[in-house]
Amino acid sequence: MDIAQRCGTSTTSVVRFYKRLGYRRLTDLRLDLAEQTAHERASVSGFAVVSGDIDQSDSLADVVTKVARNETLSISDTASNLDLARLQEAVFAIVGARRIDAFGVGASAFVGQDLQQKLSRIGRVALAWTDAHSAWTSAATLDNECVAVAISHSGTTIDTVEYLEVARQRGAKTIALTNFESSPLTAHADIVLTTAARETRFRSAALGSRIAQLMVIDCLFTGVAQSSYEPSMEALRNTYEVVQSRSSHRRNSA
């Protein structure tokens, strides 16, 4: 653990420290420290400082401030805590894959579709599933040349957990993107990528979690594109030109 090395102590001592402070995970302590730092910076800079969850009595200006703060913290905390070795391993897995399948439920499904769309634009064979039965049947056709990506903030969504389990049984390399390291989803993952998003009582809207997941997906995609730079750049240029030509055609026809 990096903190233990910097402090010249053991990982066990760090764990005991944050648990004595009342935290179950080191990530929760980091989030509180980051939020406090954000408040202090906002105060020094003269920006409005608001605290707490979004409340019914909040003005629209307060809502904007709180949403922006929570999403900014979700991105910065995820970037700070993201395991780069695992991210690199995920990049290598996708680069060498014959096919990449992604699955998530609800808001996580949109994140999976974003990954599929990005990989397709650089010539990768990628599929995204939003229906559980379709995802399971697709997972059953995977093999050791394929990669399965499962996305779930909680890591407890049954459909997503079972999808990754099936994919792993078929020999696919499995990647889990979740906020919780010890969730059921990670039990079936070869590679675990974690976000550090703190959700509010508006969790059903998937505010911080979605933006943090998308940030990790952007990093993953960029790493894949960078590993095959020239072909990826050519594919991006070609796909951009096709879209632009269609847009120009429609404008000229109007």
Rounded average pLDDT over 44-71: 69
Report if residue 36 sits inside a domain.
no
Q: Give yes or no for residue 38 having a pLDDT over 90.
A: no
**Pair (21, 128) in one structural domain:** no
CA quadruple 70, 73, 79, 81: dihedral sign: negative
User: Same domain for 114 and 225?
Assistant: yes
Whether the predicted model's global pTM rises above the 0.75 cut: yes
- Comparing 133 with 18, the larger pLDDT belongs to 133
Mean pLDDT over residues 163-169, rounded? 98
Residue 105 sits in a domain whose CATH number is: 3.40.50.10490
Are both 124 and 223 inside the same structural domain?
yes
Pair 13, 100 in one domain: no
Q: Is residue 51 part of a domain?
A: no
Does residue 146 sit within a domain?
yes
Whole-number pLDDT of residue 85? 96
Q: Are 115 and 217 found together in one domain?
A: yes
Same domain assignment for residues 223 and 110: yes
In a domain, 67, yes or no: no
Q: Check residue 63 and give its pLDDT.
A: 80
Query: Which is more confident, 53 or 213?
Result: 213
Which is higher by pLDDT, 180 or 51?
180
Same domain for 109 and 12: no
Same domain, 89 and 192: yes
Q: Is residue 60 part of a domain?
A: no
Q: How many domains is the chain built from? A: 2
Q: What is the mean pLDDT of the chain?
A: 85
Domain boundaries, position 17 = 1-28
